[in-house]
Amino acid sequence: MPHWTELIAEKKQRQLKSIPQEWLVSPPPDSTLDVTGFPETCGLLTAREIEITNTSVDVLLEKLACGEWTAVDVTTAFYKRAVVAHQFVNCLTEIFVDRALARAAELDDHFIRTGKVVGPLHGLPISLKDQLCIKGLETTMGYVSWIGRYAEKNAVLVDILIECGAVPFVRTNLPQTVMWPESFNNIFGRTTNPHNRSLTPGGSSGGEGALIALKGSPLGVGSDIGGSIRIPSSFCGLYSLRPSYGRVPYCGALNSLEGQDSVHSVFGPMTNSVGGVKAFMKAVVNAKPWLKDPLAVRKRWHEDEYNLADHGYGKDLCFAIMWDDGVVVPHPPIRRSLEITKAALEKAGHKVVDWKPIKHRLLADTTRSIWNAASSEDYMMTTSATGEPIIATMELDDSDATAAPFRPKKIGITAYQLWQAQKLRRDIRKEYLDHWEATSSETGTGRPVDAIICPASSYAATPHGKNRYTNYTTVWNALDYPATTFPVTTVDPTLDAKKPRRVFYDDFDKGIHEMYDPEIFKNAPVCLQLVGRTLEEEAIIKMTEIVDGALAAAK
Look up 204 and say whether it is catalytic.
Answer: yes
Contact partners, residue 248, CB within 8 Å, separation at least 6: 157, 266, 267, 268, 281, 284, 285, 289, 296
Residue 269 maps to a domain? yes
Look up 228 and say whether it is catalytic.
Answer: yes
CB 201 within 8 A of CB 153: no
| Distance of alpha carbon 11 from alpha carbon 529, whole angstroms | 37
pLDDT, one tens digit for every residue, the chain (555 residues): 899 999 999 999 999 999 999 999 999 999 999 999 999 999 999 999 999 999 999 999 999 999 999 999 999 999 999 999 999 999 999 999 999 999 999 999 999 999 999 999 999 999 999 999 999 999 999 999 999 999 999 999 999 999 999 999 999 999 999 999 999 999 999 999 999 999 999 999 999 999 999 999 999 999 999 999 999 999 999 999 999 999 999 999 999 999 999 999 999 999 999 999 999 999 999 999 999 999 999 999 999 999 999 999 999 999 999 999 999 999 999 999 999 999 999 999 999 999 999 999 999 999 999 999 999 999 999 999 999 999 999 998 643 333 344 454 556 889 999 999 999 999 999 999 999 999 999 999 999 999 999 999 999 999 999 999 999 999 999 999 999 999 999 999 999 999 999 999 999 999 999 999 999 999 999 999 999 999 999 999 999 999 999 999 998
User: What is the Cα 525 distance to its own chain's centre?
Assistant: 14
- Going by C-alpha positions, the residue among 280, 296, 386, 388 that lies closest to residue 60 is 280
Same domain, 260 and 354: no
Same domain, 456 and 530: yes
Same domain, 204 and 331: no
pLDDT of residue 129: 98
Secondary structure (H, E, C), 230-270: HHHHHHHCCEEEECCCCCCCCCCCCCCCCCCCCCCCEEEEE
Residue 127 maps to a domain? yes
Residue 401 maps to a domain? no
Q: What is the three-class DSSP state of 220? A: strand
Same domain, 164 and 216: yes
| Distance of alpha carbon 140 from alpha carbon 143, whole angstroms | 5
Same domain, 320 and 285: no
| Distance of alpha carbon 180 from alpha carbon 163, whole angstroms | 32
Tell me how far apart the terminal alpha carbons of the chain are, to the nearest angstrom.
60
pLDDT of residue 1: 84
Same domain, 243 and 286: yes
CATH number (domain holding residue 243): 3.90.1300.10
pLDDT of residue 399: 38
pLDDT of residue 396: 85
Q: Is the pTM of this model over 0.85?
A: yes
Same domain, 125 and 146: yes
Contact partners, residue 225, CB within 8 Å, separation at least 6: 178, 179, 257, 263, 264, 265, 266, 371, 477
Q: What is the three-class DSSP state of 202? A: coil
> What's the number of CA atoms in the CB half-sphere (13 Å) around residue 56?
12
User: Into how many domains does the chain fold?
Assistant: 2
Residue 427 maps to a domain? no
Question: Burial of 28 by CB count in 10 Å (0-12 exposed, 13-18 middle, 19+ buried)?
Answer: middle
Residue 416 maps to a domain? no
CB 422 within 8 A of CB 370: yes
Residue 121 maps to a domain? yes
- Residues 127, 183, 204, 233: which is the catalytic one? 204
Same domain, 208 and 337: no
Residue 384 maps to a domain? no
- Residues 183, 217, 223, 228: which is the catalytic one? 228
Residue 379 maps to a domain? no
Single out the residue in 301, 327, 346 at which a domain terminates.
301
Same domain, 261 and 353: no
Same domain, 293 and 318: no
pLDDT of residue 410: 56
> Following DSSP, what letter does each residue of 151-181 receive, concatenated?
-SS--HHHHHHHHTT-EEEEEE---TTS-SS
pLDDT of residue 456: 98
Same domain, 1 and 87: yes
Question: Burial of 440 by CB count in 10 Å (0-12 exposed, 13-18 middle, 19+ buried)?
Answer: middle
Q: In terms of residue numbers, what domain contains 351?
A: 314-358+449-555
CB 272 within 8 A of CB 218: yes
- Residues 80, 129, 215, 522: which is the catalytic one? 129
Single out the residue in 258, 275, 301 at which a domain terminates.
301
Single out the residue in 252, 275, 301 at which a domain terminates.
301
Same domain, 484 and 343: yes
